[in-house]
């Protein structure tokens, strides 16, 4: 997620990426018009045969497979083939290993999740949106929605961080990747940033949140309630260290600041109550999958606030297209703005 730096125009990276994707947009738009194809397919809801146990299994796979690769990297000298010179501080080295592990684990992670669903509930890949059907149109949709709505999300991020910094006197949490690039900055780290932010994260997260979790939430109202409560618990657990320090030091203000993620979730309770009472659970499922997605980024607060808006957009595209292609494309290009931001700041 891009950070607001002083004297730096936050939309400049967006405009840079927009200039790069514009030729692709024009070609796809021409193709779509030439084929006289509708952008969106007819509204429908695919079957969701998988169970809560399989949803839990998918998230466990997403956690455990990268850990296996991390152990492999830490116990071998594989990374030494990419890096020369002195090793960075241990914390940054662990971050580097973790990012490489998550990136290298992506093919196995995707295969394991899809195979689990197939083996237990006979779920086919297209049922979670893993399909190339209507591929050009879905790529076009992802790019169009990114082009139209990304500025609003970026400006919301700038506004929120400004409020925290200027009004609450609480600077936003620093994302670890810019620190890695600033203090280590090896060419392989830039390659790692591109692979992890523009490929591994969009593909893996969209499969989990929009492919597996969101359709499952649309079937039962109690599932939305369960994920909402879990989001609240995670918002507290992910700030556990700061909360503990605030209690030990008897710092009421710091305790209040550390509770902000949980308060953010609670502010969405009226929306949760309203949406769960509607005949269709589509909106409630999109909200809760977006909230769960945002809460997993609580370690870099207040990033989850604009990320909730991004998650809502990704969830809508996934539901409306019945495919993960459009949200993956949007997610990847959105993260590319952060990469371009870091490149521009370095130069």
9-23 per-position pLDDT tens digit: 668 899 999 999 999
Beta carbons of 174 and 164 less than 8 angstroms apart: no
- The pLDDT of residue 3 is above 50: no
pLDDT, tens digit, 9 for 90 and up, residues 36-68: 888 888 887 778 999 999 999 999 999 999 999
Q: Please name which of 59, 87, 69, 45 lies closest in space to residue 280, comparing C-alpha atoms.
A: 45
Report how far residue 323's alpha carbon sits from residue 135's, in angstroms, rounded to the nearest whole number: 9
pLDDT, tens digit, 9 for 90 and up, residues 76-101: 878 878 887 778 888 888 888 999 99
pLDDT at res. 117: 97
The count of C-alpha atoms lying within 13 angstroms of the C-alpha of 92, restricted to the half-sphere facing its C-beta, is 15
pLDDT at res. 91: 84
pLDDT, tens digit, 9 for 90 and up, residues 93-122: 888 899 999 999 999 999 999 999 999 999
150 found inside a domain? yes
pLDDT at res. 186: 81
For the chain, what is the radius of gyration of the CA atoms? Answer: 20
Q: Please name which of 128, 112, 125 lies closest in space to residue 65, comparing C-alpha atoms.
A: 112
Report how far residue 335's alpha carbon sits from residue 142's, in angstroms, rounded to the nearest whole number: 13
* Residue recorded with tokens 């790069």: 20
7 found inside a domain? no
Which tokens sit at 344? 């521009």
pLDDT at res. 238: 93
pLDDT at res. 172: 81
Report how far residue 188's alpha carbon sits from residue 69's, in angstroms, rounded to the nearest whole number: 18
- The pLDDT of residue 315 is above 70: yes
258 — pLDDT class (breaks 50, 70, 90): very high
5 — pLDDT class (breaks 50, 70, 90): very low
Give how far the C-alpha of residue 189 lies from the chain's centroid of Cα atoms, to the nearest Å: 20
- The pLDDT of residue 6 is above 50: no
- The pLDDT of residue 234 is above 50: yes
Q: Number of folded domains in the chain?
A: 1
pLDDT higher for 180 or 230? 230
pLDDT at res. 293: 97
pLDDT above 90 coverage of the chain, percent:
71
Report how far residue 279's alpha carbon sits from residue 256's, in angstroms, rounded to the nearest whole number: 37
pLDDT at res. 19: 94
Q: What is the DSSP letter of 163?
A: I
pLDDT at res. 10: 66
2 found inside a domain? no
Mean pLDDT value of segment 251-261: 92
149 — pLDDT class (breaks 50, 70, 90): very high
pLDDT, tens digit, 9 for 90 and up, residues 156-188: 998 998 888 888 877 888 888 888 887 767 888
221 found inside a domain? yes
Report how far residue 302's alpha carbon sits from residue 160's, in angstroms, rounded to the nearest whole number: 7
Q: Write the Ramachandran bin of 40: left for phi over 0, alpha for psi from -120 to 50, otherwise beta.
A: beta
Q: What angle do CA 64, 224, 108 make, to 5 degrees?
A: 20
75 — pLDDT class (breaks 50, 70, 90): confident
Q: Mean pLDDT in the chain?
A: 91
40 found inside a domain? no
Mean pLDDT value of segment 316-326: 96
39 found inside a domain? no
252 found inside a domain? yes
Instruction: Write out the residue range of the structural domain in which residue 156 sits.
Output: 12-34+51-346
117-131, 195-209, 333-347: the lowest-pLDDT one: 333-347
SS3 label, residue 105: coil
Mean pLDDT value of segment 283-302: 95
Which tokens sit at 171? 């600077």
35-39, 276-280, 299-303: the lowest-pLDDT one: 35-39
pLDDT higher for 285 or 346? 285
164 found inside a domain? yes
């Amino acid at each position: 997620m891009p950070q607001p730096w002083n004297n730096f125009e936050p939309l400049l990276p967006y405009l840079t990426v927009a200039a790069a994707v514009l030729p692709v947009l024009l070609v796809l738009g021409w193709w779509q018009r030439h084929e006289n194809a509708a952008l969106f397919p007819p509204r429908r809801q695919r079957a969701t045969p998988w169970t809560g146990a399989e949803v839990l299994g998918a998230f466990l796979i997403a956690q455990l497979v990268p850990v296996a690769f991390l152990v492999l990297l830490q116990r071998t000298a594989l990374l030494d083939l990419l890096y020369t010179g002195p090793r960075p501080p241990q914390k940054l080295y662990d971050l580097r290993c973790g990012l490489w592990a998550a990136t290298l684990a992506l093919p196995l992670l995707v295969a394991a999740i899809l195979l689990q669903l197939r083996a237990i509930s006979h779920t086919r890949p297209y049922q979670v949106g893993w399909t190339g059907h209507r591929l050009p149109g879905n790529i076009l949709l992802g790019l169009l929605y990114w082009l139209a709505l990304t500025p609003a999300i970026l400006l919301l991020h700038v506004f929120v961080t400004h409020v925290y910094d200027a009004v609450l006197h609480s600077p936003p949490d620093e994302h670890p990747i810019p620190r890695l690039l600033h203090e280590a900055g090896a060419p392989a780290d830039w390659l790692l940033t591109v692979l992890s932010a523009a490929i591994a994260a969009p593909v893996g997260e969209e499969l989990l949140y929009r492919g597996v979790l969101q359709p499952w939430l649309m079937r039962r109202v109690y599932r939305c309630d369960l994920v909402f409560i879990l989001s609240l618990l995670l918002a507290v657990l992910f700030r556990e260290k700061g909360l503990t320090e605030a209690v030990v030091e008897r710092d009421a203000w710091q305790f209040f600041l550390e509770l902000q993620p949980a308060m953010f979730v609670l502010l969405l309770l009226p929306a949760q109550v309203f949406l769960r009472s509607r005949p269709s659970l589509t909106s409630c499922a999109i909200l809760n999958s977006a909230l769960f997605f945002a809460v997993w980024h609580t370690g870099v607060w207040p990033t989850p606030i604009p990320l909730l808006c991004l998650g809502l957009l990704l969830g809508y595209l996934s539901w409306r297209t019945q495919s993960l292609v459009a949200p993956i494309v949007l997610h990847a290009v959105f993260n590319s703005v952060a990469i371009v931001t870091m490149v521009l700041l370095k130069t």
